[in-house]
Protein backbone atom coordinates (compact mmCIF):
# COMPACT_ATOMS: atom_id res chain seq x y z
CA UNK A 1 0.00 0.00 0.00
CA UNK A 2 1.11 3.56 -0.60
CA UNK A 3 2.23 5.96 2.12
CA UNK A 4 -0.82 8.11 1.34
CA UNK A 5 -3.09 5.15 2.05
CA UNK A 6 -1.31 4.44 5.31
CA UNK A 7 -1.64 8.07 6.40
CA UNK A 8 -5.35 7.95 5.58
CA UNK A 9 -5.89 4.80 7.65
CA UNK A 10 -3.88 6.14 10.60
CA UNK A 11 -5.76 9.42 10.55
CA UNK A 12 -9.05 7.50 10.51
CA UNK A 13 -7.80 5.37 13.42
CA UNK A 14 -7.00 8.46 15.47
CA UNK A 15 -10.43 9.96 14.86
CA UNK A 16 -12.20 6.75 15.85
CA UNK A 17 -10.09 6.34 18.97
CA UNK A 18 -10.63 9.92 20.08
CA UNK A 19 -14.42 9.66 19.87
CA UNK A 20 -14.33 8.35 23.42
CA UNK A 21 -14.11 11.26 25.85
CA UNK A 22 -14.77 9.34 29.06
CA UNK A 23 -11.39 7.66 29.59
CA UNK A 24 -10.25 8.05 33.19
CA UNK A 25 -6.67 7.92 34.48
CA UNK A 26 -7.14 5.84 37.61
CA UNK A 27 -4.69 5.51 40.48
CA UNK A 28 -2.08 2.77 40.35
CA UNK A 29 -2.73 -0.10 42.77
CA UNK A 30 -1.13 -3.49 43.23
CA UNK A 31 -4.54 -4.70 44.39
CA UNK A 32 -3.31 -7.69 46.36
CA UNK A 33 -6.73 -8.06 47.98
CA UNK A 34 -7.89 -9.43 44.60
CA UNK A 35 -5.60 -12.43 45.02
CA UNK A 36 -7.27 -13.93 48.07
CA UNK A 37 -9.33 -16.46 46.07
CA UNK A 38 -6.52 -17.50 43.71
CA UNK A 39 -5.34 -21.07 44.34
CA UNK A 40 -1.72 -19.91 44.25
CA UNK A 41 -2.37 -17.28 46.97
CA UNK A 42 -4.08 -19.82 49.21
CA UNK A 43 -1.02 -22.05 49.01
CA UNK A 44 1.47 -19.18 49.25
CA UNK A 45 0.30 -16.52 51.73
CA UNK A 46 2.18 -13.24 51.81
CA UNK A 47 5.16 -13.46 54.13
CA UNK A 48 6.85 -10.08 54.32
CA UNK A 49 7.59 -9.68 50.60
CA UNK A 50 7.07 -6.43 48.77
CA UNK A 51 3.84 -6.40 46.71
CA UNK A 52 5.85 -6.81 43.52
CA UNK A 53 7.90 -9.72 44.85
CA UNK A 54 4.79 -11.42 46.18
CA UNK A 55 2.99 -11.02 42.87
CA UNK A 56 6.04 -12.48 41.10
CA UNK A 57 5.76 -15.52 43.39
CA UNK A 58 2.05 -15.88 42.64
CA UNK A 59 2.71 -15.65 38.90
CA UNK A 60 5.30 -18.40 39.12
CA UNK A 61 2.93 -20.61 41.08
CA UNK A 62 0.12 -19.98 38.60
CA UNK A 63 2.37 -20.83 35.67
CA UNK A 64 3.51 -24.05 37.31
CA UNK A 65 -0.10 -25.19 37.68
CA UNK A 66 -2.14 -23.12 35.26
CA UNK A 67 -4.81 -25.83 35.04
CA UNK A 68 -5.51 -25.13 38.68
CA UNK A 69 -5.31 -21.34 38.24
CA UNK A 70 -7.87 -21.45 35.42
CA UNK A 71 -9.80 -24.31 37.00
CA UNK A 72 -13.31 -24.02 38.45
CA UNK A 73 -16.38 -25.79 39.69
CA UNK A 74 -18.96 -26.23 36.95
CA UNK A 75 -22.03 -23.99 37.48
CA UNK A 76 -25.26 -25.70 38.46
CA UNK A 77 -27.63 -22.83 37.73
CA UNK A 78 -27.57 -22.53 33.93
CA UNK A 79 -30.83 -21.02 32.72
CA UNK A 80 -31.87 -19.97 29.23
CA UNK A 81 -34.47 -17.20 29.25
CA UNK A 82 -35.60 -15.15 26.24
CA UNK A 83 -32.53 -16.11 24.26
CA UNK A 84 -30.06 -15.25 27.02
CA UNK A 85 -28.04 -17.85 28.91
CA UNK A 86 -27.34 -16.80 32.48
CA UNK A 87 -25.44 -18.40 35.34
CA UNK A 88 -23.34 -17.37 38.31
CA UNK A 89 -19.64 -17.05 37.58
CA UNK A 90 -17.45 -19.48 39.54
CA UNK A 91 -15.19 -16.46 40.19
CA UNK A 92 -16.73 -14.17 42.79
CA UNK A 93 -16.02 -10.44 42.68
CA UNK A 94 -17.23 -7.72 45.09
CA UNK A 95 -19.78 -6.61 42.45
CA UNK A 96 -23.07 -8.54 42.28
CA UNK A 97 -23.71 -7.36 38.71
CA UNK A 98 -20.42 -8.80 37.54
CA UNK A 99 -21.01 -12.15 39.19
CA UNK A 100 -23.92 -13.06 36.91
CA UNK A 101 -22.75 -14.16 33.47
CA UNK A 102 -24.83 -13.25 30.40
CA UNK A 103 -24.39 -14.92 27.02
CA UNK A 104 -26.71 -14.22 24.10
CA UNK A 105 -27.76 -17.44 22.37
CA UNK A 106 -27.93 -17.71 18.58
CA UNK A 107 -29.14 -21.27 17.85
CA UNK A 108 -28.84 -22.87 14.41
CA UNK A 109 -30.46 -26.00 13.02
CA UNK A 110 -27.19 -27.95 13.16
CA UNK A 111 -26.98 -29.25 16.73
CA UNK A 112 -23.42 -30.53 16.47
CA UNK A 113 -21.34 -27.35 15.90
CA UNK A 114 -21.13 -24.30 18.12
CA UNK A 115 -18.75 -21.48 19.03
CA UNK A 116 -18.35 -19.03 21.88
CA UNK A 117 -17.79 -15.41 20.79
CA UNK A 118 -15.70 -13.14 23.03
CA UNK A 119 -16.00 -9.46 22.00
CA UNK A 120 -13.61 -6.56 22.36
CA UNK A 121 -12.89 -4.29 25.32
CA UNK A 122 -15.57 -1.65 26.03
CA UNK A 123 -17.95 -3.03 23.43
CA UNK A 124 -21.69 -2.29 23.72
CA UNK A 125 -24.11 -5.06 24.67
CA UNK A 126 -25.09 -5.78 21.05
CA UNK A 127 -21.58 -5.68 19.54
CA UNK A 128 -20.71 -8.64 17.28
CA UNK A 129 -24.38 -9.55 16.84
CA UNK A 130 -23.92 -9.22 13.06
CA UNK A 131 -21.20 -11.87 13.10
CA UNK A 132 -23.29 -14.06 15.42
CA UNK A 133 -26.31 -13.90 13.11
CA UNK A 134 -24.09 -14.64 10.12
CA UNK A 135 -22.71 -17.75 11.81
CA UNK A 136 -26.25 -18.75 12.77
CA UNK A 137 -27.38 -18.54 9.13
CA UNK A 138 -24.41 -20.69 8.13
CA UNK A 139 -25.51 -23.40 10.53
CA UNK A 140 -23.17 -22.66 13.45
CA UNK A 141 -24.86 -22.03 16.79
CA UNK A 142 -23.08 -19.53 19.01
CA UNK A 143 -23.01 -17.86 22.41
CA UNK A 144 -21.92 -14.23 22.54
CA UNK A 145 -20.42 -13.80 26.02
CA UNK A 146 -20.63 -10.54 27.93
CA UNK A 147 -17.14 -10.09 29.35
CA UNK A 148 -16.49 -9.29 33.03
CA UNK A 149 -17.37 -5.67 33.92
CA UNK A 150 -19.02 -5.09 30.51
CA UNK A 151 -22.61 -4.13 29.56
CA UNK A 152 -24.98 -6.15 31.81
CA UNK A 153 -22.11 -6.87 34.20
CA UNK A 154 -20.88 -3.30 34.65
CA UNK A 155 -20.96 -1.84 38.18
CA UNK A 156 -23.09 1.34 38.33
CA UNK A 157 -20.15 3.64 39.07
CA UNK A 158 -18.53 2.87 35.70
CA UNK A 159 -19.07 4.30 32.22
CA UNK A 160 -16.40 2.07 30.68
CA UNK A 161 -15.19 -1.44 31.47
CA UNK A 162 -12.24 -0.05 33.39
CA UNK A 163 -12.15 -2.86 35.92
CA UNK A 164 -11.39 -5.41 33.18
CA UNK A 165 -8.14 -3.70 32.20
CA UNK A 166 -6.63 -0.99 34.36
CA UNK A 167 -3.73 0.21 36.51
CA UNK A 168 -4.98 -2.04 39.31
CA UNK A 169 -2.56 -4.85 38.54
CA UNK A 170 -4.18 -7.75 40.39
CA UNK A 171 -7.75 -6.77 39.53
CA UNK A 172 -6.78 -6.99 35.87
CA UNK A 173 -5.43 -10.50 36.46
CA UNK A 174 -8.57 -11.48 38.35
CA UNK A 175 -10.83 -10.15 35.59
CA UNK A 176 -8.87 -12.14 33.01
CA UNK A 177 -9.08 -15.30 35.08
CA UNK A 178 -12.82 -14.75 35.42
CA UNK A 179 -13.27 -14.20 31.68
CA UNK A 180 -11.42 -17.40 30.83
CA UNK A 181 -13.40 -19.44 33.35
CA UNK A 182 -16.72 -17.91 32.26
CA UNK A 183 -15.93 -18.83 28.64
CA UNK A 184 -15.13 -22.40 29.66
CA UNK A 185 -18.45 -22.55 31.51
CA UNK A 186 -20.20 -21.68 28.24
CA UNK A 187 -18.63 -24.79 26.74
CA UNK A 188 -19.99 -26.78 29.69
CA UNK A 189 -23.50 -25.67 28.76
CA UNK A 190 -22.98 -26.33 25.04
CA UNK A 191 -21.70 -29.79 25.90
CA UNK A 192 -24.81 -30.41 28.00
CA UNK A 193 -26.94 -29.47 24.96
CA UNK A 194 -25.23 -32.17 22.89
CA UNK A 195 -22.84 -30.07 20.81
CA UNK A 196 -19.73 -32.00 19.80
CA UNK A 197 -17.59 -29.71 17.63
CA UNK A 198 -16.69 -26.57 19.56
CA UNK A 199 -14.80 -23.43 18.62
CA UNK A 200 -14.00 -19.99 19.94
CA UNK A 201 -13.82 -16.52 18.37
CA UNK A 202 -12.09 -13.70 20.23
CA UNK A 203 -11.58 -10.09 19.19
CA UNK A 204 -8.95 -7.76 20.68
CA UNK A 205 -9.10 -8.27 24.48
CA UNK A 206 -11.45 -11.17 23.76
CA UNK A 207 -8.76 -12.69 21.56
CA UNK A 208 -6.34 -12.79 24.48
CA UNK A 209 -9.01 -14.39 26.65
CA UNK A 210 -9.77 -16.89 23.89
CA UNK A 211 -6.14 -17.94 23.60
CA UNK A 212 -5.92 -18.60 27.34
CA UNK A 213 -9.19 -20.54 27.29
CA UNK A 214 -8.11 -22.67 24.34
CA UNK A 215 -4.76 -23.49 25.94
CA UNK A 216 -6.62 -24.87 28.97
CA UNK A 217 -9.70 -26.48 27.45
CA UNK A 218 -9.21 -29.53 25.19
CA UNK A 219 -12.81 -29.32 23.96
CA UNK A 220 -11.99 -26.30 21.77
CA UNK A 221 -11.16 -27.64 18.31
CA UNK A 222 -11.13 -24.43 16.26
CA UNK A 223 -9.85 -20.98 17.21
CA UNK A 224 -10.21 -17.55 15.62
CA UNK A 225 -8.01 -14.83 17.09
CA UNK A 226 -9.17 -11.50 15.68
CA UNK A 227 -6.18 -9.29 16.64
CA UNK A 228 -3.47 -11.16 18.49
CA UNK A 229 -0.41 -10.48 20.63
CA UNK A 230 2.11 -12.20 22.87
CA UNK A 231 2.19 -10.04 26.02
CA UNK A 232 -0.74 -8.21 27.58
CA UNK A 233 1.71 -5.66 28.99
CA UNK A 234 3.03 -4.72 25.54
CA UNK A 235 -0.44 -4.00 24.21
CA UNK A 236 -1.26 -1.76 27.17
CA UNK A 237 2.14 -0.04 27.02
CA UNK A 238 2.22 0.67 23.30
CA UNK A 239 -1.45 0.77 22.26
CA UNK A 240 -3.24 3.94 21.31
CA UNK A 241 -6.41 3.04 23.21
CA UNK A 242 -4.64 2.28 26.52
CA UNK A 243 -2.44 5.32 26.96
CA UNK A 244 -4.55 6.47 29.90
CA UNK A 245 -3.78 3.15 31.61
CA UNK A 246 -0.07 3.43 30.85
CA UNK A 247 0.01 6.98 32.23
CA UNK A 248 -0.72 5.62 35.69
CA UNK A 249 1.35 2.43 35.39
CA UNK A 250 4.56 4.05 34.17
CA UNK A 251 4.89 6.10 37.35
CA UNK A 252 5.51 2.81 39.20
CA UNK A 253 6.61 0.17 36.66
CA UNK A 254 8.55 -0.14 33.43
CA UNK A 255 7.52 -2.47 30.61
CA UNK A 256 9.72 -5.40 31.66
CA UNK A 257 8.34 -5.38 35.20
CA UNK A 258 4.77 -5.09 33.93
CA UNK A 259 5.36 -8.11 31.69
CA UNK A 260 6.36 -10.09 34.76
CA UNK A 261 3.41 -8.81 36.79
CA UNK A 262 0.97 -9.93 34.08
CA UNK A 263 2.84 -13.03 32.91
CA UNK A 264 0.14 -15.40 34.18
CA UNK A 265 -2.45 -13.78 31.87
CA UNK A 266 -0.26 -13.38 28.77
CA UNK A 267 -0.77 -15.75 25.82
CA UNK A 268 2.98 -16.18 25.36
CA UNK A 269 3.14 -18.05 28.68
CA UNK A 270 0.94 -20.86 27.37
CA UNK A 271 1.92 -21.29 23.72
CA UNK A 272 3.61 -24.63 24.30
CA UNK A 273 0.52 -25.85 26.14
CA UNK A 274 -1.64 -24.42 23.36
CA UNK A 275 0.44 -26.26 20.72
CA UNK A 276 0.43 -29.58 22.56
CA UNK A 277 -2.94 -30.72 21.21
CA UNK A 278 -4.54 -30.94 17.79
CA UNK A 279 -6.68 -28.00 16.69
CA UNK A 280 -6.91 -25.42 13.92
CA UNK A 281 -6.40 -21.68 14.37
CA UNK A 282 -6.94 -18.52 12.35
CA UNK A 283 -4.87 -15.47 13.27
CA UNK A 284 -6.18 -12.17 11.88
CA UNK A 285 -4.33 -8.91 12.37
CA UNK A 286 -4.28 -5.44 10.85
CA UNK A 287 -1.31 -4.03 8.98
CA UNK A 288 -1.77 -0.56 10.52
CA UNK A 289 -3.01 -1.54 13.96
CA UNK A 290 -2.35 1.21 16.49
CA UNK A 291 -3.49 -0.84 19.50
CA UNK A 292 -2.16 -4.36 18.86
CA UNK A 293 0.98 -3.22 17.06
CA UNK A 294 1.72 -5.43 14.03
CA UNK A 295 5.10 -6.63 15.31
CA UNK A 296 3.35 -8.11 18.36
CA UNK A 297 1.01 -10.05 16.09
CA UNK A 298 3.87 -11.18 13.87
CA UNK A 299 5.70 -12.39 16.95
CA UNK A 300 2.92 -14.70 18.10
CA UNK A 301 2.43 -16.03 14.56
CA UNK A 302 6.15 -16.78 14.32
CA UNK A 303 6.09 -18.60 17.64
CA UNK A 304 3.09 -20.80 16.83
CA UNK A 305 4.68 -21.60 13.47
CA UNK A 306 7.84 -22.75 15.23
CA UNK A 307 5.71 -24.92 17.52
CA UNK A 308 3.97 -26.57 14.58
CA UNK A 309 0.45 -25.27 15.23
CA UNK A 310 -1.95 -25.91 12.35
CA UNK A 311 -2.88 -22.33 11.50
CA UNK A 312 -3.75 -19.76 8.88
CA UNK A 313 -2.88 -16.05 8.90
CA UNK A 314 -4.87 -13.17 7.38
CA UNK A 315 -3.47 -9.62 7.34
CA UNK A 316 -6.02 -6.91 6.60
CA UNK A 317 -5.06 -3.46 5.20
CA UNK A 318 -6.56 -1.42 8.04
CA UNK A 319 -6.10 -0.60 11.71
CA UNK A 320 -7.62 -1.71 15.01
CA UNK A 321 -10.63 0.58 15.05
CA UNK A 322 -11.09 0.63 11.29
CA UNK A 323 -11.44 -3.16 11.31
CA UNK A 324 -14.89 -2.50 12.75
CA UNK A 325 -15.82 -0.15 9.89
CA UNK A 326 -17.06 -0.72 6.35
CA UNK A 327 -15.66 -2.38 4.25
CA UNK A 328 -13.17 -4.04 6.59
CA UNK A 329 -15.72 -5.49 9.01
CA UNK A 330 -17.32 -7.42 6.15
CA UNK A 331 -13.96 -8.70 4.90
CA UNK A 332 -13.08 -9.73 8.44
CA UNK A 333 -16.43 -11.46 8.90
CA UNK A 334 -15.98 -13.31 5.62
CA UNK A 335 -12.65 -14.77 6.71
CA UNK A 336 -14.02 -15.75 10.13
CA UNK A 337 -17.12 -17.41 8.74
CA UNK A 338 -15.25 -19.18 5.95
CA UNK A 339 -12.68 -20.61 8.37
CA UNK A 340 -15.28 -21.82 10.83
CA UNK A 341 -17.60 -23.39 8.26
CA UNK A 342 -14.65 -25.22 6.71
CA UNK A 343 -12.98 -26.46 9.89
CA UNK A 344 -15.64 -26.83 12.56
Q: What is the pLDDT of residues 158-181, one digit of tens each?
A: 999 999 999 999 999 999 999 999
Residue 197: which pLDDT band, with cuts at 50, 70 and 90?
very high
Tell me if 51 sits within 8 A of 33, measured CB to CB. Answer: no
Listed by start position, the domains of the chain span 3-30+77-343
d(CA 138, CA 331): 16
Residue 1: which pLDDT band, with cuts at 50, 70 and 90?
low
Q: Which contiguous run of DSSP H or E holds residue 80?
A: strand 79-81
Dihedral of alpha carbons 296, 211, 132, 218, sign: positive
Q: What is the DSSP letter of 262?
A: T
Nearest to 230 by CA among 311, 316, 312, 295: 295
The answer, yes or no, to whether residue 339 has pLDDT greater than 70, is yes
**How confident is the model at residue 22, as a pLDDT?**
86
pTM above 0.75, yes or no: yes
From the CB of residue 333, how many other CB atoms can be counted at a distance below 10 Å?
A: 16
**How confident is the model at residue 238, as a pLDDT?**
96
Tell me if 145 sits within 8 A of 101, measured CB to CB. Answer: yes
d(CA 43, CA 41): 5
The class (CATH top level) of 3-30+77-343 is alpha beta
Amino acid sequence: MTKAYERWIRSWEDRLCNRATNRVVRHFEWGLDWTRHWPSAQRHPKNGETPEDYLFKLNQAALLDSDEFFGYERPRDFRLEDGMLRFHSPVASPYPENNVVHAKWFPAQDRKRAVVVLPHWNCPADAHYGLCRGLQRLGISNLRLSLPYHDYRMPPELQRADYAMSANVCRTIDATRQAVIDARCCFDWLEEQGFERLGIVGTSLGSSYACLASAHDPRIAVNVFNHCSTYVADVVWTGLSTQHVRKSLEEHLDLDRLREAWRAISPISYLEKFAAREHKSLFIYAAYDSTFLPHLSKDIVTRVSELGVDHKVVVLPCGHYTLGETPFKFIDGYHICKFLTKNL
